[in-house]
């Protein structure tokens, strides 16, 4: 059971925080709601107290003997502010302590997650963008708001992400803190011993997810059983680490993860084009999608009929190998720039009978940094909530991940990615310093 502070700003989206509170409490977490004074105009104190089973206060003068403006932040495992209005973001960025919520934010030594919600013009204003940048620089996770219907007839970016999406992200942050024993997300500027910067702050992560489909006719296709759950688990984990995340999703029916840009595709060729179009700006690429190796040479314009005789044979041709294309593009870019590769590429190999020698050969042939080999079939892999894998690295090392949740598997693999990104950064910094030290 985690101790969660749910901060609520004065926005119409405050009603959604009631559902978020329900999800957190039903998951077994102890939740203390701290609304701003004006937030109570949208949802009253009795509602928060009844749903949480905890006292509700907005100022530092309630229960003074317990010093709540200090103790609440110190003892929390997660502080989640939803909705985070422009006013709350501004006061938090300025380090103000004008009420119980902002005082708690100043004393928190745990992951802090802001879910902004406001009108598009307010979100896009330079002052708000500056405040968001400041908070992210201090180690907070500030997710981008969703696009959709706002107050009144307005539509645009500024909508609070759905409670289920925020809950999934909160669970990721809580589990990471619980497993590691301390927060890997807080910046040293927040104070406290042993805290370090967000692992993927400022990084861009590109992920493929789902299973591609190759059309035979207007009603049939060649496909696979992939649901995209593993890819979406990577997306949530990467956001929790501070990354800017884009997912190229093939035929995924899951809700889009909070704060993730999702690009929808259908076929392998569409995914190939979408991934390569976004690859150059990515610091890390994770290819979890199950991509069809083959497609029909021709697609029938109308439904293929029986006609009382055997159908014509379906002739297949190979699809482009997306992973090979990504590693080749990285190699070409690195060679032309004359610099070290800055990008870490992770491939997935779903196998019914994985052999170590074959997997190592595939790793070398694909040219990626890590190859996650996971068994599928017989109740494993596709469509399940858990997974297991053997991660082979280009440096010869390997990491075994026993069967556990797909979210935990994503955490383990991203830690391997982070270590390689840190190593690349160290090499680049060292090369720069050596070059700068040369005379003339």
The answer to whether residues 283 and 344 touch, using CB atoms and an 8 Å cutoff, is yes
What is residue 437's three-state secondary structure?
helix
Answer for the pair 42, 73: CB distance below 8 angstroms, yes or no.
Answer: no
Contact 6/19 with Cβ under 8 angstroms?
no
Partners of residue 316 on adjacent β-strands: 296
Q: What one-character DSSP code corresponds to residue 211?
A: B
11: left (phi over 0), alpha (psi -120 to 50) or beta: beta
Catalytic, out of 224, 251, 319, 374: 224
Q: How many residues does the chain have?
A: 440
Q: Are 271 and 265 in contact (CB under 8 A)?
A: yes
Q: Cα(109)–Cα(180) distance, rounded to whole angstroms?
A: 14
Q: How far apart are CA 192 and CA 138, in angstroms?
A: 13
- Find out whether the peptide bond into 83 is cis, omega within 30 degrees of 0: yes
Phi, psi of 57 (to 5 degrees): -145, 155
Q: How many CB atoms lie within 10 A of CB 394?
A: 15
Pair 257, 161: CB distance under 8 Å: no
* Helix, strand, coil share (%) of the chain residues, nearest 5: 40, 25, 35
Cα distance between residue 429 and residue 143, in whole Å = 29
Q: Could you tell me whether strands 155-159 and 220-222 are parallel, antiparallel, or unpaired per DSSP bridges? A: unpaired
Q: Which helix (H) or strand (E) holds 82?
A: strand 78-84
**CA gap 70, 64 in Å, rounded:** 10
Rounded distance, CA 280 to CA 272, Å?
14
387 tagged catalytic: no
Which secondary-structure segment (H or E) carries 195?
A: none
Is residue 72 a contact partner of residue 32, using CB atoms and an 8 Å limit? yes
In whole angstroms, what is the distance from residue 176 CA to residue 193 CA? 18
Joined together, the tokens standing for residue 41 give 């105009």
In the numeric block, the tokens 């199950």 are attached to 290
- Name the residues annotated as catalytic: 224
């Amino acid at each position: 059971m985690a101790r969660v502070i749910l901060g609520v700003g004065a926005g119409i989206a405050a009603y959604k925080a009631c559902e978020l509170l329900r999800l957190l409490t039903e998951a077994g977490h102890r939740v203390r709601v701290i609304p701003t004074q004006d937030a109570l105009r949208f949802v009253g104190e009795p509602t928060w107290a009844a749903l949480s089973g905890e006292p509700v206060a907005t100022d530092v003068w309630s229960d003074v003997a317990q010093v709540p403006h200090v103790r609440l932040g110190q003892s929390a495992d997660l502080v989640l502010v939803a909705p985070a209005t422009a006013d709350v973001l501004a006061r938090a960025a300025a380090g103000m302590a004008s009420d119980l919520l902002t005082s708690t934010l100043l004393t928190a030594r745990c992951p802090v997650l802001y879910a902004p919600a406001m009108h598009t013009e307010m979100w896009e204003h330079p002052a708000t963008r500056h405040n968001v940048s400041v908070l992210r620089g201090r180690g907070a996770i500030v997710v981008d708001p969703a696009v959709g219907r706002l107050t009144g007839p307005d539509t645009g970016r500024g909508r609070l992400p759905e409670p289920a999406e925020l809950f999934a992200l909160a669970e990721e942050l809580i589990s990471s803190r619980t497993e590691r024993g301390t927060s890997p997300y807080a910046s040293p500027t927040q104070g406290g011993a042993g805290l370090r910067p967000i692992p993927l702050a400022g990084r861009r992560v590109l992920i493929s997810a789902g299973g591609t489909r190759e059309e035979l006719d207007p009603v049939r296709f060649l496909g696979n059983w992939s649901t995209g759950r593993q890819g979406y688990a990577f997306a949530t984990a990467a956001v929790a680490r501070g990354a800017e995340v884009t997912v190229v999703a093939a035929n995924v029916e899951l809700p889009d993860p909070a704060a993730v840009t999702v690009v929808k595709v259908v076929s392998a060729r569409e995914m190939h084009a979408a991934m390569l179009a976004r690859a150059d700006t990515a610091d890390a690429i994770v290819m979890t999608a199950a991509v069809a190796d083959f497609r029909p040479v021709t697609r029938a314009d109308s439904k293929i009929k029986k006609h009382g005789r055997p159908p014509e044979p379906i002739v297949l041709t190979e699809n482009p190998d997306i992973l090979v294309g990504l590693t080749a593009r990285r190699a070409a870019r690195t060679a032309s720039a004359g610099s070290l590769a800055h990008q870490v590429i992770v491939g997935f190999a779903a196998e019914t009978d994985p052999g170590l020698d074959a997997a190592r050969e595939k790793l070398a042939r694909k040219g990626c940094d890590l190859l996650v080999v996971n068994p599928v079939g017989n109740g494993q892999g596709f469509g399940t909530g858990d997974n297991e894998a053997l991660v082979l690295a280009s440096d010869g090392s390997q990491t075994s991940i026993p069967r556990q949740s797909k979210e935990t598997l994503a955490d383990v693999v991203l830690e391997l990615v982070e270590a390689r990104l840190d190593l690349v950064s160290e090499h680049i910094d060292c090369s720069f310093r050596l070059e700068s030290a040369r005379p003339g």
